[in-house]
Amino acid sequence: MKKIALFVMVMALAVAGLSFAQAKPDFSGKWAPKVDAAAPVPPAGGGGRGGGMAGPMTVKQTATDLTQEVVRGENTMTMVFKLDGTESVNKTQRGESKSTAKFDGPKLVIKTTQEGPNGATETTASWSLSADGKELTIARTTQRGESAQVYTKQ
């Protein structure tokens, strides 16, 4: 009888541990770009291709979607991503973009395709939170290479 009780208790803890490990992070909040004082100052402008420094952003997340509102200067861009892996369509300054977003463990992976004057561009953005939830890292991979931006929660 004691063995059965011990087995049931161990199984209950194992199931609880799996549930905790599968919890999806919540990226909601106001985020400001973290500035590295040792990094060189990027040139002004950026040619409209995402160059230069990222601006502050607000993220709202529900069980079904994530809304990202980014401020760059006087411009605000809002993107909405469905979190179930189905396609989301958003309008940007360069036209229409099509994205799929889904969780890969604790990371949110957003793959975006956008038509441009030189053909389609593809971007993969991997969102992850620090253990304390106070830093958000967005690592991007494009045809031009890899980059990352770290944000701090406000």
Phi-psi region of 45 (alpha: psi -120 to 50; beta: other; left: phi over 0): left
Tell whether the model's pLDDT for residue 51 goes beyond 50: no
CB-based contact 28:46 (threshold 8 Å): no
pTM (two decimals): 0.76
- How far apart are the C-alpha atoms of 110 and 27, rounded to whole Å? 13
Q: Calculate what percentage of the chain has a pLDDT beyond 90.
A: 60
Amino acid at 137: T
H/E stretch holding 2: helix 2-21
Q: Please state the rounded mean pLDDT for residues 14-41.
A: 72
Q: Please state the rounded mean pLDDT for residues 59-67.
A: 97
CB-based contact 144:130 (threshold 8 Å): no
Q: Identify the pLDDT of residue 4.
A: 58
The topology under which CATH files domain 25-153 is: Lipocalin (2.40.128)
Q: Which residue has the higher pLDDT, 16 or 94?
A: 94
pLDDT tens per residue, range 78-133: 999 999 999 999 998 888 999 999 999 999 999 999 988 888 999 999 999 999 99
Domain boundaries, the chain: 25-153
Q: Please state the rounded mean pLDDT for residues 43-54.
A: 43
What residues contact residue 109 under an 8 Å CB cut-off, 6+ apart?
101, 102, 103, 124, 125, 126, 127
